[in-house]
Amino acid sequence: MTTASTSAPRWLTDEEQHAWRAYLHATTLLEDHLDRQLQRDAGMPHTYYGLLVQLSQAPRRRMRMTELARNAKITRSRLSHAIARLEKNGWVRREDCPSDKRGQNAVLTDDGYEMLRRSAPGHVEAVRQAMFDRLTPEQVSSLGEIMRVLATGLEPEGTDADLPWLR
Amino acid sequence: MTTASTSAPRWLTDEEQHAWRAYLHATTLLEDHLDRQLQRDAGMPHTYYGLLVQLSQAPRRRMRMTELARNAKITRSRLSHAIARLEKNGWVRREDCPSDKRGQNAVLTDDGYEMLRRSAPGHVEAVRQAMFDRLTPEQVSSLGEIMRVLATGLEPEGTDADLPWLR
DNA sequence: CCTATCTAGTTAAACTTTCAAGAAAAGGTC
DNA sequence: GACCTTTTCTTGAAAGTTTAACTAGATAGG
């Protein structure tokens, strides 16, 4: 028999282990770096900033809660808390959805848009300096392809996968 | 003049934007996926699990707090709280450092080692399924190189960078 | 229509992380 | 040695996240 619980574990090769370790180091350090940059320059963590960016790019600068959670790859609960905080800051407001009385739209306010406009250059510069200025065009292309593969694998289409925004 | 504050922002190209978005999606989903896998199978988040792994690979299964924080790329404060929790679980214990009375060693207990031995196969399988089974050997090699570049950039040698374990 | 089930979003409590402050020992410098 | 600075680690409170439970509205089947 060859069930997962009894077959010998397929350990990682040396190269895989090194890649995995490097992945963990880089992602942890980058997340920390951007969180600090944004906390300093925009007064919020990276996740929250990403929500504002999503809203700024959405039609009429608004989006249904679940849709926003899906785009940000987070749970609806986490989003509820985040929007509550951003609302307190005056950068987002809630609005009832006209077509579905259960629904809420998160709307980017003018203040929110303005804060984004001010902080975007610094943030792009931080991302560029940490990532894109250090990689060759081939590496950027390769990284994009790899990350698309991983994201797709973790978010398979048409399945009942355990995805954050469905919990 | 060309100071950062006044020069035109160097926005990301389309390809860079797509790579960045894919990076955020993949890393967020993978972190969530592994956190859930480990919470379910080992009763702790991924960060904590990583600490036990580090200890298991250290000489005499113990390590100075700051050294452990450096390896995990986290703050000493975060580590203090994490070790306190793992200590409560009986998987780690603290020990005074003989050579420096300020210092503490975190020591992996036999119980901790045993829980690691039990959960390691499942965790490796999850990592493999999410990442290594989906990438070609060339992609694994490329990913490793890219992540080393990023990690090195965020952790420059011989500088006064703002690194978590020095805060 | 009536009921069961599902979906959208929120909430309280437990847990984790960050931030600011502080205690204690080590390492200069005079 | 006395003094000042740095290093090591911890702590309590605030902020953020997860988990489970819950409300309200939508949807489907009889």
User: Which range, of A103-117, B2-16, B61-75, averages the lowest pLDDT?
Assistant: B2-16
Contacts of A158 (CB under 8 A, 6+ apart): none
Flag whether B41 is in a domain. yes
| pLDDT tens profile A17-55 | 999 999 999 999 999 999 999 999 999 999 999 999 999
CB-based contact (8 Å) between B33 and chain A? yes
Burial B88-123 (b: 16+ CB within 10 A, else e): eeebbbeeeeeeeeeebbbbbbeebeebbeebbbbb
Would you place residue A9 in the very low, low, confident or very high pLDDT band (cuts 50, 70, 90)? confident
CB atoms inside a 10 Å sphere around CB B155 = 17
Percent of chain A residues topping a pLDDT of 90: 92
Task: Give the domain extent around A88.
Answer: 25-151
**Would you say the C-beta of B63 is within 7 Å of strand D?**
no
Flag whether B5 is in a domain. no
> Residue B132 carries which DSSP code?
I
Which residue's CA is nearest to the C1' of nucleotide D23? Answer: A102
Would you place residue A144 in the very low, low, confident or very high pLDDT band (cuts 50, 70, 90)? very high
**Using CA atoms, how far apart are residues B4 and B124, in angstroms rounded to an integer?**
44
Flag whether B22 is in a domain. no
DSSP-based three-state secondary structure for A95: strand
| pLDDT tens profile B52-71 | 999 999 999 999 999 999 99
HEC assignment per residue over A42-56: HCCCHHHHHHHHHHH
CATH of residue B63's domain is 1.10.10.10
Question: Is 60 exceeded by the pLDDT of residue B48?
Answer: yes
Taking the alpha carbons of B138, B139, B141, B146 in that order, is the dihedral positive or negative? Answer: positive
Flag whether A10 is in a domain. no
Residues of B whose CB is below 8 A from A23: 131, 143-144, 147
Flag whether A87 is in a domain. yes
Flag whether B95 is in a domain. yes
| Count of domains forming chain A | 1
CA of B28 to C1' of D23 (A): 30
Interface of A with B in 129-158 (CB under 8 A): 130-132, 134-135, 139-151, 153-155
**Would you say the C-beta of A95 is within 7 Å of strand C?**
no
How close B79 gets to chain A, by Cα (Å)? 14
Beta partners for residue A84, in sequence order: none
Flag whether A117 is in a domain. yes
* Residue A5 pLDDT: 60
User: Quick check: B28 and A144 CB within 8 A?
Assistant: no
Question: Is 60 exceeded by the pLDDT of residue B2?
Answer: no
Flag whether B11 is in a domain. no
Question: Is 80 exceeded by the pLDDT of residue A6?
Answer: no
* Residue B76 pLDDT: 98
